[in-house]
Amino acid sequence: MYKTWNFSSRFAKVSLLLLLCAVMLLSCKKGGSSPDALDRDTSYAFGMLMASQLGDFGIMGMSFDYEAFKEGFKAFNEASETRLTPNVAMELINAAITRIHAQSNERMWLEGEQNREAGEAFLAANGARSGVVTTASGLQYEVITQGSGRRPGPENTVRVHYEGTLIDGDVFDSSFRRGEPVEFPLWRVIVGWTEGLQLMNEGSTYRFVIPSDLAYGPEGSGAIPPHATLIFQVELIAVVD
């Protein structure tokens, strides 16, 4: 009969998931008496919670043999004999996580390469347009409205309105849509913004096309995929300090 799991450092990958399992053991035998089973909806909710934790390991959406999953959970939860030792179980889990992460990394790499190639083609076409200036770093900008106010430096904080899109036109962020401008110091934003905002005077609106290496690079960020070339329309409202 196997009940105690080994929480040594070599199993750190799944320690959070095991802690969740420990929480769920509230429904197992205590002091030789069996408490009433949780109702159907509460049991379902615990299943949802357990599945949600898989996202912490980057493996949301994993498909299981659900009969075997239920068998393993029930055996462990009810303190009956399990057909795998904890060590073997952890080795299988770690191997699955490693395999899924490797597949995910390969997909991300392929997506990144496709985005990089598409971005390079977009930059080449955009750079040939009249009114578009390409700087030494590869940043491209186009003046929509030229203001005459103060120009920020790299240590200044600015107040701006902006909208950011991918090259396919998908909007991933927009202060215009939120109806409220934002303030930030230029040294805290992506390189393309730090460079681009210093070209603007207060009252200006520019359109920037930012290569991925001046944006979020091979990792991406949130809704921004790996190696994405980004387009921003930015209105510089004020240099705050």
Q: Are residues 71 and 175 in the same domain?
A: no
pLDDT at residue 60, rounded to an integer = 65
Q: Is residue 129 domain-shared with residue 225, that is, in the same domain?
A: yes
Could you tell me if residue 72 is inside a domain? Answer: yes
Confidence of residue 28 (pLDDT cuts 50, 70, 90): very low
Range of the domain at 158: 122-239
- The verdict on residue 111 lying in a domain is no
144 and 233 belong to one structural domain: yes
Burial (Cβ within 10 Å: 0-12, 13-18, ≥19) of residue 111: middle
In a domain? residue 100 = no
pLDDT at residue number 6: 40
Higher-scoring residue by pLDDT: 206, 79 = 206
Residue-level pLDDT at 17: 52
Query: Are 233 and 127 within one domain?
Result: yes
What whole-number percentage of the chain has pLDDT above 70?
82
Per-residue confidence (pLDDT) for residue 1, from 0 to 100 = 26
Taking the model in full, what pTM does it have? 0.62
Domain boundary among 83, 110, 141: 83
**Strands 205-210 and 230-239: what pairing?**
antiparallel
Among the candidates 66, 83, 100, a domain finishes at: 83
As for how many domains the chain has, the answer is 2
Instruction: Say which range, 12-16, 41-45, 124-128, 207-211, has the weakest mean pLDDT.
Output: 12-16
Of the residues 29, 53, 83, which one is the last residue of a structural domain? 83
Instruction: Report the distance separating Cα 159 and Cα 223, nearest Å.
Output: 23
Phi and psi, residue 108, nearest 5°: -65, -40
Q: Are 94 and 14 in contact (CB under 8 A)?
A: yes
The pLDDT mean for the chain works out to 81
Verify that 73 and 165 share a domain, yes or no: no
Same domain flag for 158 and 228 = yes
Residue 91 included in any domain: no
Is position 110 within any domain? no
Same domain (yes/no): 33, 133:
no
- Look at residue 1 and tell me if it is in a domain: no
Residue 224 clears pLDDT 50, i.e. is over it: yes
Whether pLDDT at 20 is above 60: no
Same domain, 138 and 219: yes
Q: Would 112 be classed as within a structural domain?
A: no
Do residues 78 and 147 share a domain?
no
Please answer whether residues 77 and 22 qualify as being in contact, where contact means their C-beta atoms are separated by less than 8 angstroms.
no
Place of tokens 């106010």: 149
> Is the predicted pLDDT of residue 95 greater than 90, yes or no?
no
Are 71 and 131 contained in the same domain?
Answer: no
The reply to whether 128 and 73 lie within a common domain is: no
Residues belonging to the active site: 162, 172-173, 190, 216, 232
**pLDDT value of position 32:** 41
The CATH number of the domain where 176 resides is what?
3.10.50.40
Strands 171-174 and 140-145: unpaired
- Report helix, strand or coil for 50: helix
pLDDT(156) > 90: yes
> Residues 117-126: pLDDT tens digits?
999 999 999 9
**64 and 158: one domain?**
no
